[in-house]
Amino acid sequence: MSDSNSGQIDNVMQEDRLFPPAASFSEKAVIKSMDDYQQLYDRVKADPEAYWEAEAKSELHWFEPFDSVLQKDGIDVRWFDGGKTNICYNCIDRNIDAGHGDQDAIIWEGEPGDTRTLTYNQLHHEVCKFANVLKGLGVGQGDVVSIYMPMTPEIAIAMLACVRIGAIHSVIFAGFSAEAIADRNNDASAKVQLTADGLWRRGKIIPLKQTVDAALEKSPTVEHCIVLKRVENDCDMTNGRDHWWHDLTSEASDDCPATPLDSEATSFILYTSGSTGKPKGIRHTTAGYNLWAKKTFQWVFDWRPDDIYWCTADCGWITGHSYIVYGPLAAGATMLMYEGAPNFPAEDRFWDLVEKYKVSILYTAPTAIRAFVKWGDQHIDKHDLSSLRLLGTVGEGINPDTWIWYHEKIGGGRCPIVDTWWQTETGGIMMSPLPGAIPTKPGSCTKPLPGVVPKIVDESLEPVGVNQGGMLCIAEPWPGMLRGIWGDEERFKEQYWSTVPGCYLTGDNARLDDDGYYWIMGRIDDVINVSGHRLSTIEVESAMVSHPNVAECAAVGRPHDIKGQAIAVFITLKDVEASDAIRDELKLHVRKEIGALAVPDDIRFCEAVPKTRSGKIMRRLLRDIAAGREAAGDTSTLEDFSVLAKLRGDED
Ligand code: WTA
């Protein structure tokens, strides 16, 4: 371990297990070997414009051809300028033109067990009708449509209808408060609100329309609200403003040609919380985003025509945008979409769905996997999961022990795991194993995708050495990159482009190991500095989770007179009660796994670690708690975060 104080982060995690793809998997894969990957990577790096020009021409439909592949003027980047295309056309019409109109696009199951299937033809019909509904209410190119809906096929239909006519959607996760909706509506000057009477969550009705009513009182720009009937509960309908989805669509024509849109036309904005201040509306555009979502889907999920693909995310997050709607549909995939909770009616709902629909590719989040571990293997053992061939994770780092469990218990030891690192801002996956080509290491997102040029620097902006952590940047533009923060050019510049000149700053720390594998070490703000050693939260947490009685762990720093910072960990236990004995045992365990330096000063037990709505640990909240109530660290009473988490529930 180095004593370096130049802002590098010490690497304390040793993970040597290597899982090469099975030959039978690689043979059929899109990218079949490490050599194939390396050649493609090098080719794109050497001449990105030639590569992306050919891909854009073959993978997207062009109403008018583009004049240039890439134009860069400082932080202003334009891909495929001068061309006209349409994301909805690429996702639906193009597949129908290719003869796939009768193929299933979306197989959907509601939480109560109701089901629906839409072929590409049927999806086309529904999307065209709804696009005409929007037009009928005066929605045109550049208008913002705010979407606050359950995970029914209509949320995808709504998103696709918007991009078909050049309207900009802003999807707001249907768990946010009225205040949060109003803030986003006002920031975006939303013109129309889409919602539903309610949604099902663990067998209960969540009345969405009520929340929207409160939000619309404070959203003066919203002229109309369209309400989908989902749960059949009563709702107040304001005359002139509110309309039923089924009333409007029953009268609408299904003839609605896709509008040719500029490559750089804004396709959507998606709000994400920053480390300070109000949420930012991340702005994505049309051609480059569409191409990136499609290519990354094909590469990473190695999609084949007989696959049933299931991404368990919500359309309220970028994962739902890129890997439920735009990537899979552009690639002509068949997907499963599920409305509800993973533990309704019981903790085996996901495995029931995998078995029932013969899901072959499953993409989910580490937070969900840790819940499955905690709920116990008996829920999994009941089901036949042999249809699965590929597993994925996204949203946060996966602790190696959780990775191994996922690999063995869900993947039966035969499915590669793609640990995909990316962000709302990047539009699509940036680093991930290519499952037929790159041997995986538990906890590492392995290698950058072709077109992604990562760079890791310390605080003096010098590149760090092998196995030294530092700030992760991206040195070259890629087609799916964000183009701005809605209405806040200054913040865009300041936040992403000013720290490391010429590079996009991801806000994450990472290190590169001896084999050229990347390891994400957590957010830059989350680094814990103990006696001058900068430690990554993920590494401390992974060491904790490798203890058999730890279900989940969040590590944060708190002020310490001598060490600068001390480590405080919040732990959810499994199979044992909280006690001083287990606390001592865990300290010993960390000493053994990492060393004395990483032994936490405080170990606090809790029912559940507080999470944001998208499943990320709320470290800011934990830092406050760790700093403010140090004395409580030695009691074994369980912490109850539910109240605090709710207070902060609008962070995403
Ligand atoms: C974290 C989600 C480690 C990271 C697509 C990133 C990850 C932030 C991983 C973006 C991963 C996401 N390993 N960390 N595989 N994937 N993250 O915008 O800190 O919701 O910057 O996008 O999640 O979160 P966002």
Give the percent of the chain with pLDDT over 70: 94
How many Cβ atoms from other residues are within 10 Å of residue 352's Cβ?
A: 16
Centroid of ligand 1 to alpha carbon of 421 (angstroms): 6
CA-proximal residue: ligand 1, atom 17 (nearest): 396
Q: Is the peptide bond before 548 cis (omega within 30 degrees of 0)?
A: no
pLDDT digits (tens, 9 = 90+) for 323-361: 999 999 999 999 999 999 999 999 999 999 999 999 999
Residue 476 lies in a domain: no
pLDDT digits (tens, 9 = 90+) for 461-470: 999 999 999 9
Residue 59 lies in a domain: no
CB distance 342 to ligand 1 below 6 Å = no
What's the rounded Cα separation, in Å, for the pair 130 and 110? 21
Centroid of ligand 1 to alpha carbon of 395 (angstroms): 4
Centroid of ligand 1 to alpha carbon of 241 (angstroms): 38
Q: Ligand 1: which of 300, 423, 519 to mutate, most ligand atoms within 8 Å of CB?
A: 423
pLDDT digits (tens, 9 = 90+) for 356-377: 999 999 999 998 999 999 999 9
What's the rounded Cα separation, in Å, for the pair 483 and 75? 9
Which tokens go with 461?
């902006």
Q: Ligand 1: which of 283, 391, 396 to mutate, most ligand atoms within 8 Å of CB?
A: 396
Rank 73-77, 174-178, 225-229, 553-557 by mean pLDDT and report only the highest. 225-229
CB distance 256 to ligand 1 below 6 Å = no
Instruction: Identify the domain containing residue 589 by its residue range.
Output: 527-648
What's the rounded Cα separation, in Å, for the pair 258 and 1? 58
Angle at 517 between CA 463 and CA 397, to 5 degrees: 100
pLDDT of residue 3: 41
pLDDT digits (tens, 9 = 90+) for 25-52: 999 999 999 999 999 999 999 999 999 9
CB distance 578 to ligand 1 below 6 Å = no
What is the residue-averaged pLDDT of the chain?
A: 93
What's the pLDDT band for 428 if we cut at 50, 70, 90?
very high
The residue to which tokens 């004049």 are assigned:
67
CB distance 520 to ligand 1 below 6 Å = yes
Residue 6 lies in a domain: no
Residue 421 CA: nearest ligand 1 atom is: 15
Residue 266 lies in a domain: no
pLDDT of residue 277: 59
Q: How far apart are the first and last CA of the chain?
A: 35
Centroid of ligand 1 to alpha carbon of 424 (angstroms): 8
What's the pLDDT band for 533 if we cut at 50, 70, 90?
confident
What's the pLDDT band for 186 if we cut at 50, 70, 90?
very high
Query: 425: helix, coil or strand?
Result: helix
What's the pLDDT band for 4 if we cut at 50, 70, 90?
very low
Angle at 223 between CA 221 and CA 224, to 5 degrees: 135
Residue 588 lies in a domain: yes
How many Cβ atoms from other residues are within 10 Å of residue 124's Cβ?
A: 23
138: pLDDT strictly greater than 90: yes
Alpha helices (H) in 152-305, listed in sequence order: 153-165, 178-188, 208-217, 245-251, 287-301
Residue 616 CA: nearest ligand 1 atom is: 23
Residue 548 lies in a domain: yes
Centroid of ligand 1 to alpha carbon of 512 (angstroms): 17
CB distance 230 to ligand 1 below 6 Å = no
CA-proximal residue: ligand 1, atom 25 (nearest): 423
What's the rounded Cα separation, in Å, for the pair 633 and 480? 45
What's the rounded Cα separation, in Å, for the pair 567 and 536? 11
More confident residue, 613 or 67: 67
How many Cβ atoms from other residues are within 10 Å of residue 641's Cβ?
A: 20
CB distance 396 to ligand 1 below 6 Å = yes
Residue 89 lies in a domain: no
pLDDT of residue 592: 86
Residue 506 CA: nearest ligand 1 atom is: 21
Centroid of ligand 1 to alpha carbon of 93 (angstroms): 32
pLDDT of residue 203: 95
Which tokens go with 19?
């899982």
CA-proximal residue: ligand 1, atom 1 (nearest): 396
429: pLDDT strictly greater than 70: yes
Got the DSSP string for 88-146?
Answer: HIIIIIHHIIIIITTSEEEEEE-TTS-EEEEEHHHHHHHHHHHHHHHHHTT--TT-EEE
Which tokens go with 385?
């999961």
Helix (H) or strand (E) holding 399: none
CA-proximal residue: ligand 1, atom 6 (nearest): 423
CB 624 within 8 A of CB 618: no
pLDDT of residue 652: 42
Instruction: Give the number of domains in the chain.
Output: 1
Give the CATH number of the domain where residue 550 resides.
3.30.300.30
104: pLDDT strictly greater than 70: yes
CB distance 387 to ligand 1 below 6 Å = no
pLDDT digits (tens, 9 = 90+) for 237-272: 999 999 999 999 999 999 999 999 999 999 999 998
Query: 154: helix, coil or strand?
Result: helix
List of residues 6+ apart from 92 with CB closer than 8 A? 105, 120, 123, 124, 127, 160, 329
178-188 helix and 208-217 helix, angle to the nearest 10 degrees: 50
CB 120 within 8 A of CB 96: yes
297: pLDDT strictly greater than 90: yes
612: pLDDT strictly greater than 90: no
More confident residue, 64 or 9: 64
CA-proximal residue: ligand 1, atom 22 (nearest): 423
pLDDT of residue 447: 98
Centroid of ligand 1 to alpha carbon of 624 (angstroms): 22
Residue 631 lies in a domain: yes
CB 627 within 8 A of CB 186: no
Centroid of ligand 1 to alpha carbon of 367 (angstroms): 12
